Amino acid sequence: MREGKILFFVQLMALIALFLQPGAVGWARAEPLTAFVHVNLVPMTKEVVLQNQTVLIQGERIVAIGPSDRIAAPADARIIEGTDAFLMPGLADMHMHIRADWPGSSWPVSPFRLYLANGVTTIRCFGPSGKTGKYVLKWRDEIQSGKRIGPQIYTCGPILRGPVRHPERVVIKQKYQGFDFIKLYSYLSPGEYHEAMNTARKLKRYTAGHIPFQVGLDGVITAGMDEIAHVEELFWELVDFDRHKNLTGAAWLTYVIEKSSEQFRPLIELDMAELESRLRPSVESTAAKLKDRQIPVCTTLFLDEVIIQKLFHLQAFLKKPQNRYLPQWYIERLRQGKEKHQQQFAGGEEFAPYKYLIDKGFLKELKKNHVVLLLATDAGTGAMGLVPGFSIHDELRILVENGFTPYEAIATGTKNIAPVIQKMTGQATLGTIEVGHRADLLLVERNPLEDVAHIRKLRGVMAAGRWYDKQSLQQMTALDSSAAPDR
């Protein structure tokens, strides 16, 4: 009770402070207010539901939170009735990709709309298509100013894939162009990798990416890379290959896949339980290297499941309702057997379920070692069968299936993102529902802490203070509205 009184007093003082700002006379002189009233609040600051709450929004910020019988919404505020509903933070997809053709005719519906319609209010691009990626910076600014509909964007510039001429210059250029972080890829040589990392450190640039084949996990930890782009990156640590081989670019992936095939083919004869038991010590020791290292890892586990569906259950995959939002060029490529994973796994399709088993093993071990995990899907390219927005719910489902409570799963896309965004941009006012935070909010029909699937049932979404009710969200995903601009 005492804690509740203190919290209310702090919130009341914040509310009074708004009235006392120089030049302000009550709410009338400020931006319009929105009030969620009588709502069950899921703040994600901890595992709790606060009943019968009012949350006041002014502009793009939360300005007050408290019991509805103590905080009266101003008479001129827009009222959003929350009785029996649950208000939680918007979700983030912390690893996805933006393509230059998103607003065009290639996609049946713009991915910007698909993200919002699924409750994703923040996206982080891990490599835009094209040579410069500057269009993403333009779209980011348009969304921030309200000129374009979409989630908040954070983005790297063009990926440092390897080989890279003058990595130092690339890092410097991307900093001054305004990109939020530097992405490093699998094919970088040790020299290229360390030049990029050293430059990024000097410029205080956040670094995230793959574990370069020639560098390895130990090298990445020593160099101080801020974040690892996929749980599946740890899989390659189980493969015995020559890191000093004279190869460049994509030849590295071909080589490592060949070595993994040689190494794991004898194990295919084992059933799943035997394989898991055989590999558990290696998985445990590899994941343990990240304990206490403060290096977050993006999940992207649903992709493994999608790969299995494409390889073994193609017709069922094509009939999934959400897949009607994939570009037609991708569907045709898939039907012709020319899709990315169909080609990568050609002749070795049986490895896909075993790889998924191992990746889930890594996920569990990372959780056991208290490694920060970030909700992420790798959607957006249109080239892998992942539907923007929709795939975030499958990612949450997979986390729960592998030992996460609903709260822990949701935290990967809410609470856990704030320290990452803070380190990346200096801003940390998102991911939880608190006074002063950005108003990225989901109003859901039932308690998400009981079942993450409840998040699919949205009454509405607020993105940076802009409210989209249920009807607006339905219009966003309507296939006959594909010609509508993202504005």
Lowest mean pLDDT among 16-20, 80-84, 360-364: 16-20
pLDDT for res 8: 44
DSSP string, 304-339: HHHHHHHHH-HHHHHT-GGGGGS-HHHHHHHHTT-S
Between CA 209 and CA 128, with CA 299 as vertex, the angle to 5 degrees is: 45
pLDDT tens digits, 314-345: 999 999 999 999 999 999 999 999 999 999 99
Going from the C-alpha of 230 to that of each of 70, 101, 357, 374, 428, the distances in angstroms are: 45, 25, 15, 9, 23
C-alpha distance across the termini of the chain, in Å: 46
Going from the C-alpha of 355 to that of each of 43, 111, 240, 384, the distances in angstroms are: 36, 29, 16, 17
Q: How far, in Å, CA of 121 to CA of 91, rounded? A: 6
Which numeric CATH code is attached to 2-89+434-481? 2.30.40.10
* 3-class secondary-structure state, position 139: helix
* 3-class secondary-structure state, position 373: strand
pLDDT for res 428: 86
Q: What is the mean pLDDT of the chain?
A: 93
Whether the predicted pLDDT of 445 surpasses 80: yes
Confidence of residue 147 (pLDDT cuts 50, 70, 90): very high
Mean pLDDT across 98-102: 96
Whether the predicted pLDDT of 12 surpasses 60: no
Whether the predicted pLDDT of 23 surpasses 50: no
Cβ atoms of 111 and 102 closer than 8 Å:
yes
Q: How far, in Å, CA of 197 to CA of 207, rounded? A: 7
pLDDT for res 105: 87
* 3-class secondary-structure state, position 38: strand
Whether the predicted pLDDT of 433 surpasses 80: yes
Confidence of residue 15 (pLDDT cuts 50, 70, 90): very low
Q: How far, in Å, CA of 386 to CA of 402, rounded? A: 20
Between CA 192 and CA 203, with CA 197 as vertex, the angle to 5 degrees is: 130
pLDDT above 90 coverage of the chain, percent: 88
pLDDT for res 292: 96
pLDDT for res 382: 93
Q: How far, in Å, CA of 301 to CA of 306, rounded? A: 9
Whether the predicted pLDDT of 16 surpasses 60: no
Higher pLDDT residue, 267 or 197?
197
Whether the predicted pLDDT of 24 surpasses 80: no
Cβ-count burial of 168 within 10 angstroms (0-12 exposed, 13-18 middle, 19+ buried)? middle
Mean pLDDT across 33-39: 98
Cβ atoms of 58 and 16 closer than 8 Å:
no
Whether the predicted pLDDT of 208 surpasses 90: yes
CA atoms in the 13 A half-sphere facing the CB of 87: 29
pLDDT for res 30: 58
pLDDT for res 486: 56
Mean pLDDT across 100-110: 93
Domain ranges of the chain: 2-89+434-481, 91-425
User: In angstroms, how far is CA 473 from the centroid of its own chain?
Assistant: 20
pLDDT tens digits, 346-378: 999 999 999 999 999 999 999 999 999 999 999
pLDDT tens digits, 456-482: 999 999 999 999 999 999 999 998 754
Whether the predicted pLDDT of 11 surpasses 70: no
Cβ atoms of 156 and 183 closer than 8 Å:
yes
Lowest mean pLDDT among 126-140, 269-283, 318-332, 468-482: 468-482
Tokens representing 430? 């998102």
Whether the predicted pLDDT of 20 surpasses 80: no
Whether the predicted pLDDT of 383 surpasses 90: yes
Query: In terms of pTM, does the model score above 0.95?
Result: no
Tokens representing 200? 């990024």
Q: Which of 399, 297, 376, 415 shows the shortest CA–CA distance to 94?
A: 376
**CATH 1.10.150.120 describes domain 91-425:** no
Query: To which H or E segment does residue 14 belong?
Result: helix 2-19
Lowest mean pLDDT among 14-18, 353-357, 411-415: 14-18
Cβ atoms of 66 and 47 closer than 8 Å:
no
pLDDT for res 31: 79
Classify strands 33-41 and 78-81 as parallel, antiparallel or unpaired. parallel
Tokens representing 14? 């914040």
As a three-state string, the secondary structure of 339-353 is CHHHHHCCCCCCHHH
Q: What share of the chain is helix, strand, coil (3-state, %, to 5)?
A: 45, 15, 40
